[in-house]
Amino acid sequence: MARVSRTRLLAMARKEVLQLSRDRRSLILAFLMPLLLLVLYSYAISWDVRNIATAVVDQDNSTRSRALLDAFRASGYFTMDRDLARVADAEPLIDRGEVQLLLVVPPDFSRRLGSGRPAELQAIVDGSDANTATIVLGYTQAVLQDFASNVLLRGVRARLPLTAETRVWFNEELVSRNMIVPGLVAVIMMIIAAMLTSLTIAREWERGTMEQLAATPVTRLEVVIGKLLPYLGIGLVDVIVISVAGVLLFHVPFRGSAALFLVLSTAYLIGVLGLGLFISAVAKSQLLATQMGMILTFLPSFLLSGFMFAIDAMPPVLRLLTYVVPARYFLVVTRGIFLKGVGVDVLFVQGLLMIVFGILGLALAVRAFKKELE
């Protein structure tokens, strides 16, 4: 392999910087799009379920039934502003999506509770959205568990034989945004970095400047690294900007080492940028390169990285595919450093895979790029 010339490498990088500075669309994509995607996705994607529209049919209308309904109101998750006389009155409300939960208190609720017998409460949930329905049922059961553990039975405060004392680590308030924002760092950089570099070599072919490049003594490795360096700098700036924005705008904790985060981000970006250059070298067309970039970066990183869907819940075939998605491993890095504050001892495997991905991305780009004119 020919020796890499520092002079030719810097000249190639300078050429790419000048070309990039004249392309306003690429600059907008490079600096504004990551922040815009962070804000849009952070507000649009949320697994928190609050203000659950709840209707009530209290057929008992006793002190104990009202105490139970007050327990639901006090939880902060349920909005109970519809008191109905019959269950049938709730059907059109559920059909129109105006009510997510219907609570039916039977007429003998207080009497059975007072006599020490099991009392029932009917909860009807709109299951058209299965995930939301599951969360609503979980909240309902939690309120009932708490109410049952403190209810007065025969004048004596009864306690359940087993009481669970729970404590949540790393995301104490169970705010989904704390999980989403670190994941978005991995997903957004996968998309933006690959999209930026997927146009570089294809642009040379379409503008006819590849002939000039072919006449120079610059090697394939120098072309790839020279084109990659400016975008690596842009990518690191983007990582810092969206990470700081996540902390300041969305109050996501950053508990780990910033230096470790930047080192692993650099390895990840090198691999992603190399993948983009590989796409550009293969496509030789900016339109085709853009389409390939979206298919090979956006869909896998968004759907198969564990960002949107739990990997363990996927079919076996898809679970196997996730092992070749780099965002899967960087997602563990971002959430581990942001939320858990873990170090190299925990992230050693992911860090090693990031380095391997970086080397592989560069190797693919160098192998696919051909200086020779066809």
**Domain CATH for 58:** 3.40.1710.10
Verify that 202 and 148 share a domain, yes or no: no
CB atoms within 10 A of CB 281: 25
Verify that 277 and 226 share a domain, yes or no: yes
Residue 170 counted as domain residue: no
Verify that 127 and 206 share a domain, yes or no: no
Task: Specify which of 195-199, 254-258, 273-277 reaches the highest per-range mean pLDDT.
Answer: 254-258
What is the mean predicted confidence (pLDDT) over 259-286? 87
How far, in Å, CA of 93 to CA of 232, rounded?
Answer: 54
Cα separation values, 156 from 70, 144, 297, Å: 21, 19, 62
What is the mean predicted confidence (pLDDT) over 238-267? 92
Last residue of a domain, one of 128, 157, 186: 157
Residues in contact with 221: Cβ distance below 8 Å, sequence separation at least 6, in sequence order: 1, 2, 4, 366
Confidence of residue 241 (pLDDT cuts 50, 70, 90): very high
Verify that 310 and 276 share a domain, yes or no: yes
pLDDT greater at residue 283 or residue 59: 59
pLDDT of residue 214: 64
CB distance 102 to 124 below 8 Å:
yes
Domain span at residue 59? 52-157
Cα separation values, 155 from 66, 104, 238, Å: 18, 25, 63
pLDDT of residue 63: 86
For the cut 80, the answer to whether the pLDDT of residue 202 exceeds it is no
Verify that 192 and 295 share a domain, yes or no: yes
For the cut 60, the answer to whether the pLDDT of residue 245 exceeds it is yes
Verify that 240 and 309 share a domain, yes or no: yes
For the cut 80, the answer to whether the pLDDT of residue 266 exceeds it is yes
pLDDT of residue 260: 93
pLDDT of residue 286: 76
pLDDT of residue 166: 59
Which amino acid appears at position 36 of this protein? L
pLDDT of residue 312: 85
Residue 171 counted as domain residue: no
The mean pLDDT of the chain is: 83
Which amino acid appears at position 234 of this protein? I
For the cut 90, the answer to whether the pLDDT of residue 35 exceeds it is no
For the cut 50, the answer to whether the pLDDT of residue 96 exceeds it is yes
pLDDT of residue 334: 93
